[in-house]
Amino acid sequence: MVTREEIIEALKQVRYPGYSRDIVSFGLVKGVEFPGQGTVVRLEVNSAEANVPGILQERVAEAVGRLPGVGKPVDVRVKVNAASAGPDSLPEKSGIAGVRHIIAVASGKGGVGKSMVAANLAAAFQAAGRRVGLCDCDLYGPSLALMFGTSERPTMGEDELINPVTVSGVKLMSMGLLVEGHSPVALRGPMVTRYTQQFLRSVRWGELDVLVLDLPPGTGDIQLTIVQTLTLDGAVIVSTPQEVALIDARKAAGMFAKVGVRILGVVENMSYFLAPDSGKRYDIFGAGGAKLEAEKLGVPLLAEVPIEVAARESADRGHPIVWQDAGALTARAFIAAAGKIGEIFGWTN
Ligand SMILES: Nc1ncnc2c1ncn2[C@@H]1O[C@H](COP(=O)(O)OP(=O)(O)OP(=O)(O)O)[C@@H](O)[C@H]1O
Ligand SMILES: [Mg+2]
């Protein structure tokens, strides 16, 4: 005979639809009983979403049914409390008041140029007259403040909302501020989730046309929390043409697909290098990989951004290349990408 504990263990593998957390940790499991030969699992949800109980029934019946020695049939009873959306402890997934569009810049692999892309997209939106916010969501390696040449610290208002720092009209905020004074080890798993959720709601962004989120590499706790807490308008996937980067880009794309976030397109960074002396083109990381990947995903290739010394220098000096020299090859690629995103959003000018 299977025990109650074994069933609970199995239920810990069952995720709430749309979330990565399991139904036990959300406190939805209200009882496990063994009447006669059968097994009854009782759940209670506060969900306004009509399909949630059915999905939970299927998932639970499957997970429990797989246990050897479980009494058949497995009867899953879901009680729905007419209330808010989602279980009690779930924050509602929503946008940010006053912010028209939220986009995430993501990659699977590190160091492929997410921050470069995020910073320059923000600069390009700003140059096009948009009201822009840019959030560095990397807890441990924040680089956007450097790319915008600021060491100014955000201040906290009386209402406990944090005021972003403004550089040439772009509102900047960094999640790295959260971990100051904490060792990275102290901030793992649930702590990261809690801080991230709290942080996303604690910034005074004001009225923005677009908020660009520069995500850390990979598909870990922070990325998941962000995509599950905020209603994103879309994600921009950054990759180099190299297969190792594309494999990880695919994983990142998979994460967004799973939570129903549309992919606005792929930016291929470090696409090629044009030697300034000879004009010869070098495909340092290979060629055409991101274009194929974009085709496979059925999304546009937003830009092919070359490796350019001026772009790197400009970033290191704290002035994105789009502002520094709008005619540079990299800058033109970023401006075109921002334009395509604007078109997707239906911006008319
Ligand atoms: N197109 C480019 N031309 C020249 N240098 C670039 C280009 N793109 C990025 N770089 C440089 O490469 C380095 C890595 O870029 P960046 O920090 O944007 O990557 P990332 O994907 O954000 O990294 P992480 O995964 O650590 O967050 C930086 O020093 C940046 O200035
Ligand atoms: Mg980065």
Express each pLDDT in 85-97 by its tens digit. Answer: 444 444 556 788 8
89-98, 114-123, 301-310, 337-346: segment of lowest average pLDDT: 89-98
Mutation pick for ligand 1 pocket among 312, 321, 330 (CB with most ligand atoms within 8 Å): 312
Residues 130 and 209 reside in one and the same domain:
yes
CB of 139 closer than 8 Å to CB of 272: no
Angstrom distance (rounded) from CA 97 to CA 259: 21
pLDDT at 349 over 80: no
Average pLDDT value for residue range 225-243:
92
Residue at 228 is within a domain: yes
CB of 335 closer than 8 Å to CB of 326: yes
For the CA of 270, the nearest atom of ligand 1:
1
Residue at 91 is within a domain: no
108-122, 188-202, 221-235, 260-274: segment of lowest average pLDDT: 188-202
Residues 70 and 104 reside in one and the same domain:
no
Give, using CA atoms, the residue closest to atom 7 of ligand 1. 307
Closest ligand, as measured to the CA of 240: 1
Angstrom distance (rounded) from CA 141 to CA 197: 19
Write down the mean pLDDT value for the chain.
Answer: 87
For the CA of 116, the nearest atom of ligand 1:
18
Angstrom distance (rounded) from CA 35 to CA 193: 39
For the CA of 111, the nearest atom of ligand 1:
23
Residues 73 and 109 reside in one and the same domain:
no
Residue at 349 is within a domain: no
Closest ligand, as measured to the CA of 114: 1
Instruction: Give Cβ neighbours of residue 277 (< 8 Å, ≥ 6 apart).
Output: none
Residue at 207 is within a domain: yes
Which of the two residues, 95 and 184, has the higher pLDDT score?
95
pLDDT at 265 over 60: yes
Name the band, by pLDDT with cuts 50, 70 and 90, for residue 333. Answer: very high
pLDDT at 125 over 90: yes
Give, using CA atoms, the residue closest to atom 8 of ligand 1. 113
Residues 32 and 169 reside in one and the same domain:
no
Q: What is the whole-number distance in angstroms between the Cα of residue 116 and the centre of ligand 1?
A: 5
Residue at 94 is within a domain: no
Residues 76 and 183 reside in one and the same domain:
no
Q: What is the pLDDT of residues 15-58, one digit of tens each?
A: 887 777 788 887 889 999 988 888 999 998 876 566 778 889 99
pLDDT at 258 over 50: yes
Residues 61 and 137 reside in one and the same domain:
no
Instruction: Give Cβ neighbours of residue 138 (< 8 Å, ≥ 6 apart).
Output: 115, 174, 175, 176, 214, 215, 216
Residue 293 CB less than 6 A away from ligand 1: no
Angstrom distance (rounded) from CA 15 to CA 63: 11
For the CA of 109, the nearest atom of ligand 1:
25
Quickly list H helices, the chain.
4-11, 52-65, 114-127, 144-147, 189-200, 221-229, 243-258, 289-297, 309-316, 321-324, 329-344
Question: For residue 86, what pLDDT is reported?
Answer: 43
DSSP helix/strand/coil, 162: strand
Residues 338 and 270 reside in one and the same domain:
yes
Domain boundary among 46, 80, 114: 80
Q: Which of 50, 46, 1 is nearest to 23 (CA)?
A: 46
Residue at 303 is within a domain: yes
Average pLDDT value for residue range 129-141:
89
Name the band, by pLDDT with cuts 50, 70 and 90, for residue 79. Answer: confident
Residues 272 and 333 reside in one and the same domain:
yes
Q: What is the whole-number distance in angstroms between the Cα of residue 215 and the centre of ligand 2?
A: 7
Residues 212 and 241 reside in one and the same domain:
yes
Token pair listed for 222: 């922070």
Residue at 89 is within a domain: no
Q: Distances from the Cα of 303 to the Cαs of 110, 146, 289, in angstroms?
A: 19, 24, 13
Question: For residue 87, what pLDDT is reported?
Answer: 47
Residues 148 and 227 reside in one and the same domain:
yes
Average pLDDT value for residue range 77-89:
62
Domain boundary among 48, 80, 112: 80
Strand-strand pairing, 281-282 and 301-305:
unpaired
pTM of the predicted protein model: 0.76
The answer, yes or no, to whether the previous bond of 216 is cis (omega within 30 of 0) is no
For the CA of 307, the nearest atom of ligand 1:
3
Residue at 86 is within a domain: no
Residue 270 CB less than 6 A away from ligand 1: yes
Residues 75 and 107 reside in one and the same domain:
no
CB of 223 closer than 8 Å to CB of 253: no
% of residues, the chain, pLDDT over 90: 52
Residue 107 CB less than 6 A away from ligand 1: yes
**Other C-beta atoms lying within 10 Å of the C-beta of residue 255:** 20
Residues 128 and 52 reside in one and the same domain:
no
Average pLDDT value for residue range 134-139:
89
Domain boundary among 53, 80, 107: 80
Which of the two residues, 134 and 183, has the higher pLDDT score?
134
Average pLDDT value for residue range 141-156:
85
Q: How far is CA 300 from the centre of its chain?
A: 19
Mutation pick for ligand 1 pocket among 116, 121, 239, 322 (CB with most ligand atoms within 8 Å): 116
Question: For residue 132, what pLDDT is reported?
Answer: 97
CB of 13 closer than 8 Å to CB of 21: no
Question: For residue 314, what pLDDT is reported?
Answer: 96
**Domain harbouring 66, CATH code:** 3.30.300.130
Question: For residue 96, what pLDDT is reported?
Answer: 85
Angstrom distance (rounded) from CA 105 to CA 336: 16
pLDDT winner (highest mean) among 67-71, 152-156, 294-298, 306-310 = 306-310
18-22, 113-117, 163-167, 299-303: segment of lowest average pLDDT: 18-22
Number of domains in the chain: 2
87-91, 98-102, 338-342: segment of lowest average pLDDT: 87-91
Closest ligand, as measured to the CA of 174: 2
Burial of 199 (0-12, 13-18, 19+ CB in 10 A): buried
Query: 68 lies in which domain range?
Result: 4-80
**Domain harbouring 277, CATH code:** 3.40.50.300
Closest ligand, as measured to the CA of 119: 1
